[in-house]
Amino acid sequence: MKVIFAGTPAVAVPSLDALREAGFDVVAVLTRPDAPLGRKRVLTPSPVAQRAEELGIDIIKASRITPDITERIRSSGAEVGAIVAYGAILPGHALSAVKHGWVNLHFSLLPAWRGAAPVQHAIINGDDILGASTFLLEEGLDTGPVYGTMTENARPEDTSGEVLERMSRSGAVLLAQTLQAIDTGREEARPQEGAPSFAPKLTLEDGRLNWTESATVLHRRMRGVTPEPGAWTTLDGQRFKVGSMSLRPDIRDLEPGRLLLKGKSVIVGTGSHGLELLQVQPSGKRMMAAGDWARGQAELEKVELV
């Protein structure tokens, strides 16, 4: 079966590879245009575009699906579309441009966490079970009938980046299996059941740590926003990034935001018990071990994060 693949970031690359390895004829790739990266803002192809070029696959770059782009999709001869984190909405004229429609790999157990940041919101929310779904793309936001799902137990220290990297591989297998079922006529999409929850794209403000909240809530937020947009607080009116931290339920006498140096450990108070800062990044500095930063503070007990 001929497939057109739509995707942009690195988490979509394993799915492209999986479809090729499963024997599908990937006739074209749809991806976002080159974007400026790095300090010099050099225009750089997306990870999916780079992989498609290595594989010799025709590449369509578009940030918006116009009728002209739809005609290119149609003329590719694709019988089905596969989409993983493409980053733009496919309008109705594009959805109908391929015989079997578009199968979307979404990193949640639909209808939970419809939207752009499902893994991030699941971790922030404290979900015990994480997963991915393949579903038939419709014009609604992640509303289409589901073909298949895969699940895994949430791990207590996982960041959203680590979960996405892992699920990009297991989800790729699910996507290939779904397309194989469609190819052989064994597909059985079922309507989504239950109340939906929503996962909009995270903003910088979503990464702000409010030390009056419980340590558990703060730890989940830090993991959910890592690596992007990143967890942060303020120190002397400037943004102070937190790269990682761990729970310290043995420390319960610190006021929220107050710091304590215990041995080589830097502890911050919360609304419940302590959190140990492991990596931090002061304004204008690189990310460093929290202990190294603390050694440069003359009176750490007077430092307050807000």
Is the pLDDT at 119 greater than 90, yes or no? yes
pLDDT tens digits, one per residue of 236-255: 899 999 999 999 999 999 99
Domain assignments of the chain as residue spans, ordered by start:
2-183, 204-302
Q: Which of 126, 159, 165 is nearest to 245 (CA)?
A: 159
- Mean pLDDT value across residues 214-227: 98
- Does CATH place domain 2-183 in 3.60.150.10? no
pLDDT at 231: 98
- Is pLDDT at 162 greater than 90 in this prediction? yes
Average pLDDT, the chain: 95
pLDDT (tens digit, 9 = 90+) per residue, 67-95? Answer: 999 999 999 999 999 999 999 999 999 99
306 vs 208, residue with greater confidence: 208
31 versus 39: which is more confidently predicted?
A: 31
Tokens at 168, concatenated: 């990009």
pLDDT at position 40 is 84
Q: Residue 302 — very low, low, confident or very high, per pLDDT cuts 50/70/90?
A: low
- Cα-based torsion angle of the residue sequence 201, 216, 244, 41 in order, rounded to the nearest 10 degrees: 10
Q: Is 36 left (phi over 0), alpha (psi -120 to 50) or beta?
A: beta
Sheet containing 146-153: give its strands across.
58-61, 25-31, 2-7, 80-84, 102-106, 129-136, 146-153
Q: What is the pLDDT of residues 48-65, one digit of tens each?
A: 999 999 999 999 999 999
**Percentage of the chain exceeding pLDDT 90:** 91
- Asked if 2-183 and 204-302 have one fold, the answer is no
**CATH architecture type of domain 204-302:** Roll (3.10)
User: For the purposes of burial, counting CB atoms within 10 Å of the CB of 253, is it exposed (0-12), middle (13-18) or buried (19 or more)?
Assistant: exposed
